Structure 1
């Protein structure tokens, strides 16, 4: 198996349960609440938990993980991502490798999208559904080889996704699909750099290398960070203590993308990573997949590069978020700041992106969520949940996801009811906040399809395709007070 995130020398191969047979086994996994193994009681912790504590983070239990909620003021973290850059620890997300000659066939069967059509080096947003069409999870799938994929599920759903893939691997006759499913969550860290200056920062940190055998690489093209497309991935090396220009630093040592292939020409201390141009903020951004043991050095390298870009003199030691080491690249503040899950939620809400547990669940189909287009019902004759999704497309969704905007400062929150002109409930808010960027309340909500048509919120010309009517008014019951909201087209915010 050609690990896209190479294990260190001496590490054993991965077993199908996700542990390694060598030193990178349980000891390399996520730590428990007291720094012990993840199997201890209480929420799991990432390899960067001690760093977050040093930075003064407030923590929250999210999906069974003790994650940083904020480091200071979430409004400042939110604005940093919109105006410059933010750095997130997303190591609670799952990483599941599917490898083998029938890996693509398994994912075509198990997921709703046409995964076999994804080129090497590209990614696809998809879903895994139950037979009744209910969403088990939404996830991203990276094709990292002709017969190798990396599936990234949500934190709380990762065990269920692994279980479903293992079960569905046995669905095919004659012994099942000829492939393996490896859960690598416990040994992998994920660091995201998001914002308008993300490309500058990552270009100064990551030296791209050849090794994924993408169509472009096979044609002789040398990968670059700037040239990496959205929903695409490549291999790279991080060299801690570099000059701040990854490409120049590599050239100075006689190292280039062409010479670093499958481990050749590496220098001592090099950190092997997979770099993806993906994100969940509505901004340009990158996600860095790295072994747990290299997570702290990777974080420090990112913050140090951001400080150099801003002219600062600190932050490389992980303290860039406490105001001691920032540069002047963002109105006198640091170019990049550590960011917690609180601002990630308002960022994704402004971008109109659904969150599992709010907009997505086992009680929601892709058609309900307005994401029926992800289901390859025309190009695939069979996949788990296909019949239910086809039926939902033909009959129309039972409910419709809409975007809402309000006035003033009182935000609608998850669970608040939507009311028609007569005060009858016709839906429910799934996510809501006072938008830091727009300055007014925004919300996502599900509206009952029939009631929404009757109330004038949805078009009723085609019952199979009820569509939100932009500008239509609705009332939200906010703690007993009926406040007016208007239907708007998503997303609420779109970067220019």
Structure 2
């Protein structure tokens, strides 16, 4: 998993498996990743109807251990990670001193003094460095495990049956945003009920040397359930339908959690200071707020397209696509607070033509309640 030159994309431990499966690759955050295998539409539908299998080994995994690991994370992040119970996980953010978002991430508490932080691929090195710096005054050790860890996800209505078949684990008691140790044919893994698709699903943290074995065992367990390998293209359309923000699109240093309707993640009631606290306390009402948009027809507004209210430009689309599940264009964008009411009529400049869009509530898609974990 090391670079040969600065310009050569890194390969995950599963690269050759993807090549065997006929994947098309793209350079994503410095990694050579499968963007699709055959049809991204078929992969998208598989996740919504049966299950899809993803390689997420480009993500960063950083461990904090020691007596003050919880205190260090409370200082480093906007959330109250000391309140997370062992075996549970929390979605949170790392902000800079000005309140801008450096990354959104998931933190797992594996033991009383042991946390696992999972960062986005493009921010993994930055977050590892930031955590080392921010934890320097605490009795904790920060260890970047990214190079030795592979991450495989199985997402979709059939995911529980597939993962149970591969691990032999009893999953009915594993709640959403919880984790447990498990084995796959003798290989030890951390099994988490988490994901980025809007479906029930699981993520398996696997030693890099076991990645191919675990991938193939999951594929075998999923064969009877319609499991398909799935690439980054459908992962993006799935997360957009679920109204989940993407770092670099909806999130970045120019936005705070309040801009992205994620102010609930900022825990001002936790003891002590945290990086960005003073700036976030002064935020007040944000000058722009993230909303969902629904379009008509087949032309979808894309990232960077201008958003208009009458003849006035009022924002910019952050993500957009023709929704495979819903059959109409969907998008997310930042608009002034007075234009956030569902039903507000706007238009998107799609290649010089103003196409009508309507503000709608997020998420665009929610899985049936009967399938929720």
What CA deviation, in whole Å up to 9, does each residue of 1:204-225 have, x standing for no partner? Answer: 11144xxxxxxxxxxxxxxx22
Q: Which runs of 5+ in 1 are unaligned?
A: 1-29, 171-175, 209-223, 240-269, 311-328, 330-334, 458-467
* Residue 341 (structure 1) aligns with: 232
Q: Distance in 2 between matches of 1:233 and 1:273?
A: 10
Would you say 1:77 and 2:43 are equivalent positions?
A: yes
SS in 2 for 1:204: helix
Q: Which of 183, 204, 208 is residue 237 of structure 1 equivalent to?
A: 183
1:126/1:374 contact within 8 Å kept: yes
Per the alignment, residue 275 of structure 1 pairs with 191
Rounded Cα–Cα distance in structure 1 between residues aligned with 2:271 and 2:30: 35
Gaps of 5+ in 2: 369-373
Task: Pick from 414, 417, 431 the counterpart of residue 319 of structure 2.
Answer: 431
1:302-381 correspondence runs (5 A):
302-307=218-223, 310=224, 329=225, 335-381=226-272
Q: Give 1:222-233 correspondences, 5 Å limit.
A: 224-233=170-179
Q: For each residue in 1:339-390, what CA deviation from the matched residue of structure 2 results, as whole angstroms up to 9, or x when unmatched?
A: 0000000000000000000000010000101101000012344110011111
For 1:126-145, list aligned pairs within 5 A: 126-145=92-111
**Is 1:203–1:226's contact at 8 Å kept on the other side of the alignment?**
no
State the SS of the aligned residue for 2:246.
Answer: coil
Report the alpha carbon displacement of residue 448 of structure 1 after superposing the two structures with TM: 3.1
* Matched residue, 1:481: 353
**Distance (whole Å) between structure 1 residues aligned to residue 158 and residue 251 of structure 2:** 31
Query: TM-score, normalised to structure 2's length?
Result: 0.97
The number of aligned residues is 368
Give the alignment of 1:82-481 within 5 angstroms. 82-170=48-136, 176-208=137-169, 224-239=170-185, 270-307=186-223, 310=224, 329=225, 335-392=226-283, 395-421=284-310, 423-449=311-337, 453=338, 457=339, 468-481=340-353
Q: CA RMSD in A?
A: 1.0
Q: TM-score, normalised by structure 1?
A: 0.73
Give the C-alpha shift of residue 48 in structure 1: 0.2
In the TM superposition, structure 1's runs of 4+ consecutive aligned residues that sit over 4 Å from their partners are: none
CA–CA distance in 1 between the matches of 2:191 and 2:2? Answer: 24
Aligned to 2:17: 51
| Contact kept in structure 1, 2:53 and 2:155, CA below 8 Å | yes
Structure 2 CA distance, aligned partners of 1:237 and 1:144?
16
Higher strand fraction: Structure 1 or Structure 2? 2
Is the contact between residue 431 and residue 443 of structure 1 (CA under 8 Å) also seen in structure 2?
A: yes
How far the C-alpha of 1:42 sits from its partner, in A, is 1.3
Residue by residue, what CA displacement relative to the aligned partner does 1:142-195 show, whole Å, maximum 9, x if unpaired? Answer: 00010000000000100000111111112xxxxx20110000000100000000
What's the CA shift string for 1:217-241, capped at 9, x where partnerless? xxxxxxx2221100000000111xx
* CA–CA distance in structure 2, aligned partners of residues 40 and 109 of structure 1: 34
CA distance in 1, matches of 2:336, 2:352: 21
Q: Is the 8 A contact 1:134 1:364 kept in 2?
A: yes
Residues 423-462 of structure 1, C-alpha deviations (whole Å, 9 max, x = no match) = 111000000000000000000001134xxx2xxx2xxxxx
Structure with more relative contact order (C-alpha pairs < 8 Å, separation 6 or more) = 2
